[in-house]
């Protein structure tokens, strides 16, 4: 089996006690599989609980949903990389569409977070994706390539081995609409080519995210351009998520 990466983004759901219950149920329903890695991104208050509950499985990592680029300071409500790492996070999502379009995160800020994570030796999951009006205007590749260039500005190519890219079309997140496997593969191919131009020295996983569920995951993962999935709502049920990650087993 080719390597696949399955990432679960719990967003603003699953408290510490629920994370422990979830982990027990999920671990009981799954076994490690060669070439398959799993990541969970709980809310900040549940990172430590989830990291402890999943510690017994070497194929599972826990990350933060967002981090600040400064290691400490007067940034009320933000989570620094040292704090996230101390709670058990091995990486973080960066530039998720909700951070960009709900909270106003800029391309420059996304890049600062990527550099800070990679500089600290953690994994950065760089999210890129176009809005509906950009897709309809034929600007999908223009938008995602701009975002990946900004996100990786100033990054040493040698550090990119700790990078994961997630293509998440904004119009498909939480809407029930999903890019076709062919459309997603086309964008992934463009991203792969751009990573090469930026000097990436390793095969960086490129995930697809956007209303992924058990019904469409197989078709998406059948495409060799798609190295895994980043999933929100469908990852909240441990049994349903176990079924999805079983596609990689």
Residues serving a catalytic function are 96, 168
Show the beta-strand stretches assigned E in the chain: 4-9, 36-41, 60-62, 91-94, 123-128, 163-167, 206-209, 228-231
Residues 7/41, Cβ–Cβ less than 8 Å = yes
CA distance 200 to 156: 9
Which residues are bridge partners to 228 per DSSP? 5
Residues 206/165, Cβ–Cβ less than 8 Å = yes
Burial of 75 (0-12, 13-18, 19+ CB in 10 A): exposed
| Residue 9: strand, helix, or coil | strand
Pairing between strand 36-41 and 60-62? parallel
Which residues are bridge partners to 168 per DSSP? none
């Amino acid at each position: 089996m080719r390597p696949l990466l399955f990432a679960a983004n719990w967003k603003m759901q699953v408290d510490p006690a629920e994370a422990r219950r979830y982990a027990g149920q999920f671990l009981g329903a799954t076994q490690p599989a060669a070439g398959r890695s799993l990541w969970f991104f709980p809310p900040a208050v549940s990172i430590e609980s989830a990291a402890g509950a999943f510690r017994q499985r070497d194929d599972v990592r826990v990350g933060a949903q967002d981090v600040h680029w400064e290691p400490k300071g007067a940034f009320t409500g933000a989570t620094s990389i040292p704090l996230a790492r101390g709670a058990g996070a091995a990486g973080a999502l960066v530039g998720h569409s909700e951070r960009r379009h709900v909270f106003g995160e800029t391309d420059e800020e996304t890049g600062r977070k990527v550099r800070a994570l990679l500089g600290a030796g953690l994994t950065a999951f760089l999210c890129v994706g176009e809005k509906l009006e950009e897709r309809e205007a034929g600007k999908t590749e223009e938008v995602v390539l701009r975002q990946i260039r900004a996100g990786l500005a100033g990054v040493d190519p040698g550090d990119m081995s700790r990078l994961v890219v997630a293509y998440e079309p904004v119009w498909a997140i939480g809407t029930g609409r999903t890019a076709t496997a062919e459309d997603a593969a086309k964008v992934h191919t463009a991203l792969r080519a751009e990573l090469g131009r930026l000097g990436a020295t390793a095969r960086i996983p490129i995930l697809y995210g956007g209303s992924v569920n058990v019904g469409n995951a197989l078709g998406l993962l059948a495409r060799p351009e798609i190295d895994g999935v980043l999933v929100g709502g469908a990852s909240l049920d441990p049994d349903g998520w176990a079924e999805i990650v079983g596609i990689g087993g």
